[in-house]
Amino acid sequence: MYDVAIIGAGIIGSFISRELSKYDLKTVLIEKDNDVSNGTTKANSAIIHAGYDAFYKTNKGKFNALGNPMFDKVCKELDVAFKRIGSYVLAYSEKEIETLKRLLENGEKLGIPDIKIIDGDEIRKREPKLSDEIVAGLYAKTAGIVGPFELCIALCENAVENGTKLLLNYEVSNIEKNENRFIISSNEKSIEAKYVINCAGVYADKINNMVNKPKFKITPRRGEYYLLDKRTNGLVNSIIFNCPTKMGKGVLVTPTVHGNILIGPNSEDISSKEENKTTFSGLEFVKESASKSVKNIPFNEVITTFSGLRAEATGGDFIIEKSDTKGFINVAGIKSPGLSASPAIAKYIVKIIKDLNEGLKENKDFNPIRKKIVKFSELKDEEKKELIKKDKRYGRIICRCENITEGEIVDVINRLVGARTVDGVKRRARPGMGRCQGGFCSPRVVEILARELGKRVEDIVKSNKESYIITKETKGNIDYNK
């Protein structure tokens, strides 16, 4: 029997499992998909918000404010890229300046450091591509960008290294409480745990309803994005928001940690929890809104578009609490700024678990440091030479757009919480993230995955179980003159 079962290996579940791995607990992290970070955590704006935005009395406000300063340390320990590049919320009118003032005041109540309102000219001096119409902006120095799926994967890897059990392909279909333990089943299989932490993203209502009365409902709220080629690097150097509205923080333009430009999201309530598609109208809206803040965005440099689903819970705030059933904790409705809040949410959950377990001991063997990921293209020539001497596979470039070597791909397959799918490799080592979107390298990645995993090429999938790439072997010789 486990002490703690965490349902959902998104950023929230992963962060909690890593924090709990610091203690002497038997923890299992359960995920329905064949990889971690396959839900909302893989598709969002990747901003670590400074924290002035959400109302100071809400969980969103409190946890964001606490979470932001925690990123430097954890990202360093786990070798995940994180950059504090600062953000601007732009105002185009007197009325919008009032909104900025409200945000500033809210931020001050939350104790957010280094926020101030500056005038339009000063903003344009710092970000020359911004619109001439801007009259003022709220600058927040501590806002940052991170690789959300890299962070989530790194957290899982570190948790597993420190003793957490990761259970993939395990879709929780039923939970029963039996005296002091929960029986958590998926089809015929089941496991037992003393405590359950529900971090199931857009499905958190479904999981809650397995043990509790339906107290909240999660509505998926879709947001769509454009990603631009690295050639556009420098279009903006900080995070650029339009003024917020009721539906959210509005469309932003930001660099990513890898040097692309990300533009989005729109905001649309939908009925299906699986419809993370892009739409013509959604993307047109994003284009229009972004063009308001940044001049001449090169939309001909788009390399991909995607969308993510926010888990919008009844009431609109994060639900982070012990539920009516003792030992069952909900971490639900974690929409934006969920990523930014995640370290603080994890700390808070640890506190709850500690309260439930008097005398809980620390895990003496806890190792906070994750083995470094080799980023070949960032090494110096001398280091590259050394590495190739040791392992020839670092001398073979597989992804020609991002210059990713075979050595790096093999490494991410063979690590703890290693990649099992083409998308898994892509999220960990980035082949296929570049401008050709895997056109050249995907056949090679499939081949390497099959070889390293001892599988048939036909059995390698893009992402989930049914996302097969290849149907069969070809017939061979074809006569064209027939």
Ligand X SMILES: Cc1cc2nc3c(=O)[nH]c(=O)nc-3n(C[C@H](O)[C@H](O)[C@H](O)COP(=O)(O)OP(=O)(O)OC[C@H]3O[C@@H](n4cnc5c(N)ncnc54)[C@H](O)[C@@H]3O)c2cc1C
Burial class (CB in 10 A: 0-12, 13-18, 19+), 420: buried
Near ligand X by CB under 6 A: residue from 50, 257, 302, 309: 309
Q: By CB under 6 A, is residue 337 in contact with ligand X?
A: yes
| Helix 59-67 × helix 94-110 angle, to 10° | 70
Stretch of 289-297, 303-311, 388-396, 474-482 lying at the interface with ligand X (CB under 6 A)? 303-311
- CB atoms near residue 212 (< 10 Å): 16
Q: By CB under 6 A, is residue 240 in contact with ligand X?
A: no
Residue 310 CB, shortest distance to ligand X, in Å, is: 4
Q: By CB under 8 A, is residue 143 in contact with other proteins?
A: no
| Helix 338-356 × helix 11-20 angle, to 10° | 40
Near other proteins by CB under 8 A: residue from 20, 28, 138, 227: 227
Element (H, E) at 174: strand 174-178
Q: By CB under 8 A, is residue 302 in contact with other proteins?
A: yes
Near other proteins by CB under 8 A: residue from 131, 190, 209, 304: 304
Footprint on residues 249-278 left by ligand X (CB under 6 A): 265
Which two three-digit tokens encode residue 262? 């990300």
- Cβ closest to ligand X, residue 97 vs residue 339: 339
Residue 438 CB, shortest distance to ligand X, in Å, is: 16
- Cβ closest to ligand X, residue 42 vs residue 97: 42
Element (H, E) at 97: helix 94-110
Residue 435 CB, shortest distance to ligand X, in Å, is: 13
Q: By CB under 8 A, is residue 396 in contact with other proteins?
A: yes
Q: By CB under 8 A, is residue 322 in contact with other proteins?
A: no
Which two three-digit tokens encode residue 259? 């040097």
Near ligand X by CB under 6 A: residue from 6, 8, 21, 434: 8
CB of 240 within 8 A of CB of 123?
no
| Helix 71-78 × helix 148-161 angle, to 10° | 70
Looking at residue 5, the DSSP 8-state letter turns out to be: E
Q: By CB under 8 A, is residue 58 in contact with other proteins?
A: no
Footprint on residues 340-399 left by ligand X (CB under 6 A): 340
CB of 446 within 8 A of CB of 470?
yes
C-alpha span between 182 and 180 (Å, rounded): 7
Which two three-digit tokens encode residue 12? 């929230």
Give the binding site for other proteins (CB under 8 A): 227, 231, 274-280, 283, 302-306, 381, 384-385, 388-389, 392-393, 395-397, 400-401, 403, 435-440, 442-443, 447, 457-458, 461-476, 478, 480-481
